[in-house]
Structure 1
Amino acid sequence: MSRREADVIIVGAGLSGLIAARTVLQAGLTPLVLEADERVGGRILTEDALPGVPVELGAQWIGDTHERMFALAAELGVETFPQYDEGETSYDLVGSGVLRENDFHARFGSELAELEKVLRLLDELAAEVPPEAPWLAPRAAAWDSITAGAWYDGQGLSPVARTLLEICTVGILAVPTVEVSLLHLLFTIQTCGVTSELFAESEGGAQTVRFVGGTGEIPKRLAALFTDHIVLNAPVLLIEHGTDRVTVHCRGGLVAEGRRVIVAISPTLAGRIMYDPPLPGVRDQLTQRLPNASAMKAFFIYDEPFWRADGLNGQLISDVGPARMSNDTCIPGDDHGVLLLFLEGEQARTFGRLPEEERRAAMTAELVRHFGERAARPEFYIDGEWSDRQWTRGCYNANCGPLVWTTFGHALAEPIGVIHWASTDTAIRWSAYMEGAVEAGERAAHAVIAELAG
């Protein structure tokens, strides 16, 4: 058995945990980060598919209003570049057949106008939700008692508009809309500004900028600032907490003692740690109701981005095939063409269980339908589903179903004695994004610093 001491013990070396550790260290206190995995980064994972072609199996983009992430990247010396967005998107919805963007808009213009009205209504409703306390919204009880999917169904949308709305929303929440409450959807919109910032991939959207060298450069360079304060391969089993002391027990025998602990992992994983004394029942009931969502990313790498010559931007939106959306994720300065397919929610759950060869064949057929026969001949393929990863067990979202916010929501970020909580799920600005992870880490760290200075 080995022992370590620090002022603040931090569970998890994802972005929230690393930001919390840096903030604590800058305040003159000693942090100790305990990470279960063999690497830092959490739900950020960059792998080199080919030399000079990093692929993002985890978090990939930031948006124009992600001020904390832009500042962090600048501080760490990580350059950014814009997401490629030139050309038309390819659509295939509700039996329309494959249509280029202009043709799709010409055929379904009235349906898209209906959809725009619903999005504006969502913005109006979301404006009533206080992001720091969604349960206090004037209509919280009503909104939390129905699912977002049921509310969508009641808006009188055409099949094309309803399907497009479902695809865009699942792309954000990574679960079917029948699994989340309307209040949770409105909370998500409110934390991110307006629906246009969530759904757009062009100027003003949430996915407009990428990192040179890959997103993994952010946690790697951040961790390098305080390597001696990070312990890898140290899954936390038990947190003993008293009035002003905490003792954290890890698998392998490491025991860490401190004055405060920040648990910087998703709520469902935080609920798998043992606590002595046990946490209040409301906190445990909450974590039982916040499962991590499901997402898979699949990358097809070609000798060149051939779709660009055809006037396409590499994006598809479809309800036919495994993927509902795709993206051009080429690397500036490299000749390869890279198409990324997204499988989220039920698609990730279903196709993630298939053998890779069968899954890849289904996605190849989908790409061929949208981008032609050259899509059938990639030089390299890689995919990954986050539910299978031992120390994440799901992707970027922890979603509230009906009655969770109004019944248990107040326990999400509220400290319990010497225990504080920090993950992007607890953020009140850009929750479930990297921007939210930074905010959550800073918030928890500042609360701890204030307590220890008092």
Structure 2
Amino acid sequence: MAPQEADVLIVGAGLSGLIAARTVLAAGLTPLILEADTRVGGRILTEELGGLPVELGAQWIGDTHHRMFALAAELGVQTYPQYDDGETSYELAGTGVLRGNEFHSRFGDELAELEKVLRRLDELAAEVSPATPWTAPHAAEWDAITAGAWYDAQGLSPAARTLLEICTVGILAVPTVEVSFLHLLFTIQTCGVTSELFAESEGGAQTTRFVGGTAEIPNRLAALISEHIVFESPVQLIEYGTDSVVVHCRGGRTATGKRVIVALSPMLAGRIGYDPPLSGYRDQLTQRMPNSAAMKAFFIYDEPFWRSDGLNGQLISDIGPARMSNDTCVLGDDRGVILLFLEGEQARTHTQWSEEDRRAALTAELVRHFGDRAARPLHYLDGEWGSRQWTRGCYNANCGPLVWTTYGPALAEPIGPIHWASTDTATEWSAYMEGAVEAGERAAREVIEALTA
């Protein structure tokens, strides 16, 4: 098989890789994307259930995700607002199931204390540079403890502490005892403030969806550069010199170029062989940035019956199996769709269950919160990310204690002709699609500057 040639080789056809390829092409350079899977999108995955698009991967953008709004408009993908009318259903700290108004009335003082903690997080995060978090004045102190330990020290009531844990795990998809406090502050700073992370209403990170499904974005991007994408080409080895690279794929495919952008999560990038080997410094980093654990489960009903009961389809529970849910009905369709999230320990545990047992447990949870009609769905589908060969986890990579301050500079710094791009390397909205676009643009700029200077 003759080697393929391009100016810039790109490993991975996720959003970062696609954006990098298009940016490189617009600068007059030739890209070639080598994708291990049979599809584009990476951690974006839209599947069909009962004739409706359901998002097993990335689903929302928020009001300040300006790159994604611009990209959707350019590609002709329409958007619509996330449904948010009505009360949330709570089940925390032994309260039983409470509707939102009752929960807030009963725990008003505790929630006021929680709000103070969130404001304190915003104040501390403001001291962290998204580009160099290890340089924060208290970086050594913050990186030596976990986010969970800091939360525990705030004197919150059990209900407030549990609510804070659930909301944070909903973002990071790992327990807070596994994440350094500095990493939590970094995440907050890349996204603005805590209200933009945790809110689904105006200003939050989950306010807007895509008509036709999120996969419309990578699919339409890929259609524009289809001749520059090769599928079923898992990269096994990258040989590199000062200004040249040779990429070897499983099955014997090779490609040569002047630069390579590895548009994979740090952990997956670390599983590729490099010749000469990368420094131990870089390798130690990728060993310490595992992908998180997430599962999504969808129930489709004949109608969104919870809305007539004054509920918004959202639940927050410390009993589970799911910790949170969402009304994820599709615009223009009368059927009701509930999405349940299992993240962190819940995903790790319940992926080991049979689908029958998992569905039964989730159904029982929905019945507790939304009544007996929840037991009669038309369709069910769930999907977990750790078992997916070319992803091995979702939504993002997280740093445990002492990773940022010890190895942080290695995350996005190019090594010779090798550049890094994934949402995990972003300095704006890291771990989101917005961050994936920012990272792809940044890596492409590095390559363009190097090859056109």
Specify if TM > 0.5.
Answer: yes
Letter paired with 1:277: P
Deviation, structure 1 residue 397: 1.3
AA in 2 matched with 1:49: L
Matched letter for residue 61 of structure 1: W
Q: Which residue of 1 aligns with 2:313?
A: 314
Q: For residues 200-255 of structure 1, give each alpha carbon's deviation from its aligned partner in whole angstroms, at most 9, with x where no partner exists.
A: 00000000000000000000000000100000000000000001100000011111
Provide, for residues 346-376 of structure 1, a one-character-per-residue CA deviation record: whole Å limited to 9, x for no partner: 0000011100000110000000000000000
Rounded to whole Å, the distance in 2 between the matches of 1:221 and 1:206 is: 23
CA apart distance, 1:335: 1.1
Amino acid of the residue matched to residue 142 of structure 1?
E
Structure 2: which amino acid aligns with 1:338? V
The residue type paired with residue 34 of structure 2 is L
Does 1:298 pair with 2:297?
Answer: yes
Mapped to 2, the partners of 1:113 and 1:88 lie a distance apart of 19
1:374 paired residue number: 373
Judge conservation of contact 1:41–1:216 (CA < 8 Å) in 2: yes
Q: Distance in 2 between matches of 1:206 and 1:212?
A: 18
* Residue equivalent to 1:36: 36
Aligned equivalents of 2:208, 2:25: Cα separation in 1: 29
The DSSP-based 3-state class of the residue aligned with 1:248 is: strand
Q: Please state whether the residue corresponding to 2:107 is helix, strand or coil.
A: helix
Structure 1, unaligned runs of 5 or more: none
Match of 2:383 in 1: 384
Distance 1:363 1:2 in 2: 52
Task: After superposition, give the CA deviation of every residue in 1:273-308 in whole Å (9 maximum; x if it has no partner).
Answer: 000000011000000000000000000000000000
Q: Quick one: distance in 2 between partners of 1:258 and 1:94? A: 57
Q: How does 1:176-195 map to 2 (within 5 A)?
A: 176-195=175-194
Separation of aligned partners in 1, 2:74 and 2:50: 28
Equivalent position SS for 2:330: coil
Q: Report if aligned partners of 1:191, 1:430 keep a CA contact under 8 Å in 2.
A: yes
After TM superposition, the runs of 4+ consecutive aligned structure 1 residues lying more than 4 A away are none
Partners of 1:276 and 1:231 in 2: CA distance: 23
1:395 aligns with 394
Calculate the TM-score normalised by the size of structure 2.
1.00
Cα offsets for 1:174-224 (capped at 9, x unmatched): 000000000000000000000000000000000000000000000000000
- Equivalent-residue separation in structure 2 for 1:410 and 1:64 (angstroms): 30
Q: Partner of 1:277 in structure 2?
A: 276
Q: Does 1:5 align with 2:5?
A: yes
Q: C-alpha displacement at 1:3, in angstroms?
A: 1.4
User: In structure 2, how many angstroms separate the alpha carbons of the residues matched to 1:388 and 1:43?
Assistant: 13
Aligned to 2:342, the other structure's residue is in SS state strand
Distance in 1 (alpha carbons) for counterparts of 2:198 and 2:53: 25
Work out the CA distance in 2 between the residues paired with 1:12 and 1:312. 41
CA contact under 8 A between 1:2 and 1:253: conserved in structure 2? no
Deviation at 1:146, TM superposition (A): 0.3
Could you tell me how far apart the structure 2 residues matched to 1:193 and 1:269 are?
28
In the alignment, the residues of structure 1 paired with residue 110 and residue 2 of structure 2 have an alpha-carbon distance, to the nearest angstrom, of 64
How far does residue 332 in structure 1 lie from its aligned partner after superposition? 1.5
* Cα deviation, residue 2, structure 1: 3.1
The secondary structure found in structure 1 opposite 2:386 is helix
Note the 1:137-176 alignment, pairs <5 A.
137-176=136-175
Determine helix, strand or coil for the equivalent of 2:3: strand
Give me the whole-angstrom Cα distance separating, in 1, the residues matched to 2:428 and 2:217: 20
SS in 2 for 1:446: helix
Unaligned runs of 5+ in 2: none
Sequence identity (%): 80
Q: Secondary structure of 1:378's partner?
A: coil
State the alpha-carbon separation in 2 of the partners of residues 327 and 436 from structure 1: 23
How many residue pairs are counted as aligned between the two chains? 453
Pair 1:241-2:240 in alignment: yes
Aligned to 2:92: 93
Partner Cα distance (1:15, 1:195) in 2: 25
Is contact 1:129–1:190 with CA below 8 Å preserved after alignment?
A: yes
SS at 1:33's partner residue? strand
